[in-house]
């Protein structure tokens, strides 16, 4: 089994991988791919998994995934695992369930069947007509979006923008401790794209209200212990900006 993990919720990227998969398989292995290309949502409900049902060597697996835009961090970990244990065959691991979420199979073949007579993507790619192939894939993505969206789980991001490296370190400690106790607590801190802030803490949930509750709890109640063992609120009086937005495809 060869699996490709797409972190983006882009239906266009999903279709690019779906139509490119047989060609990538042949390019790497020298064999025609005559199996099924299947797809599912990732456990988060945001990204996608695309699978080719074939047995290949670890090196072929890594090459095919690289050609199909697999998550580069995932490829790096697989390569590290294989390097440390050259006899390792299971370098292609994916999660069927994570943080309470489960994958949902997408019947992509069935969804595409009404357009079968008008789909010429692979032919266009094969004769070097990349622009025609891309236009066709984009048109299909627009048509299929309402249907594929039914299989996706809503995702929201609660954000807190703030200043200062000291606060950055304190929030890493607090959020790390919360995540260790609660597997549903997903978070990351990014450098701010807004010049008036240094950092943005992002908390990911499947419900808008939960995202807001979590960031307001952090704003009003997140604390660290000082040298005397007393609680010191770290965001309560800090200059911040809070907002929640739906996580979209990029």
Question: Model confidence over 121-171: pLDDT tens digits?
Answer: 988 988 889 999 999 999 999 999 999 988 888 889 999 999 999 999 999
Q: How far is CA 230 from CA 127, 167, 170, 179, 218, in A?
A: 70, 17, 15, 22, 18
Distance between first and last Cα of the chain: 27
Write down the mean pLDDT value for the chain.
91
- pLDDT-derived band at 28, boundaries 50, 70, 90: very high
pLDDT digit string, tens, across residues 101-115: 688 899 999 999 999
Say how far apart CA 12 and CA 143 lie, in whole Å. 11
Q: What mean pLDDT is predicted for residues 17-46?
A: 92
Q: Is 143 exposed, middle or buried (0-12, 13-18, 19+ CB in 10 A)?
A: middle
- pLDDT-derived band at 225, boundaries 50, 70, 90: confident
Residue ranges per structural domain of the chain: 2-149, 156-246
What pLDDT was estimated at residue 93? Answer: 85
- pLDDT-derived band at 202, boundaries 50, 70, 90: very high
Q: What mean pLDDT is predicted for residues 214-243?
A: 93
Quote the pTM value.
0.74
What pLDDT was estimated at residue 99? Answer: 54
Identify the CA nearest to 125 among candidates 112, 138, 134, 117.
134
- pLDDT-derived band at 249, boundaries 50, 70, 90: low
Is a pLDDT exceeding 70 seen at residue 79?
A: yes
Token reading at 87 = 């006899």
Is a pLDDT exceeding 80 seen at residue 87?
A: yes
What pLDDT was estimated at residue 13? Answer: 94
Q: What mean pLDDT is predicted for residues 55-70?
A: 96
CATH number of 156-246: 3.30.70.100
What pLDDT was estimated at residue 101? Answer: 66
Query: Hey, is 185 helix, strand or coil?
Result: coil
What pLDDT was estimated at residue 250? Answer: 45
Q: What mean pLDDT is predicted for residues 70-80?
A: 93
Is a pLDDT exceeding 90 seen at residue 64?
A: yes
- pLDDT-derived band at 11, boundaries 50, 70, 90: very high
Q: What mean pLDDT is predicted for residues 52-59?
A: 95
- pLDDT-derived band at 98, boundaries 50, 70, 90: low
Identify the CA nearest to 93 among candidates 78, 73, 79, 72.
78
Query: Hey, is 233 helix, strand or coil?
Result: strand
Q: What mean pLDDT is predicted for residues 23-28?
A: 96
């Amino acid at each position: 089994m060869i699996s490709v993990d797409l972190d983006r919720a882009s239906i266009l990227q999903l279709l690019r991988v779906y139509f490119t998969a047989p060609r990538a398989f042949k390019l790497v292995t020298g064999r025609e791919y005559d199996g099924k290309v299947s797809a599912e949502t990732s456990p988060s409900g945001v990204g996608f998994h695309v699978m080719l049902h074939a047995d290949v060597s670890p090196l072929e697996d890594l090459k095919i995934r690289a050609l199909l835009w697999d998550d580069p961090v995932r490829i790096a970990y697989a390569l590290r695992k294989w390097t440390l244990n050259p006899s390792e065959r299971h370098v292609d691991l994916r999660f069927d369930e994570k943080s309470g979420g489960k994958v949902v199979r997408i019947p992509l073949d069935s969804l595409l069947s009404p357009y079968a007579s008008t789909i010429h993507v692979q032919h266009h790619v094969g004769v070097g007509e990349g622009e025609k192939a891309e236009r066709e894939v984009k048109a299909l993505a627009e048509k299929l979006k309402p249907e594929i969206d039914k299989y996706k789980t809503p995702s929201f991001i609660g954000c807190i923008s703030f200043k200062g490296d000291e606060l950055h370190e304190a929030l890493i400690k607090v959020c790390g401790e919360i995540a260790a106790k609660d597997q549903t607590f997903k978070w990351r801190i990014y450098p701010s794209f807004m010049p008036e802030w240094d950092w943005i803490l992002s908390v990911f949930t499947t419900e808008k209200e939960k995202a807001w509750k979590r960031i307001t709890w952090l704003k009003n109640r997140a604390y660290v212990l000082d040298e005397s063992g007393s609680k010191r609120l770290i965001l309560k009086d800090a200059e911040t900006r809070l907002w929640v937005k739906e996580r979209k495809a990029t």
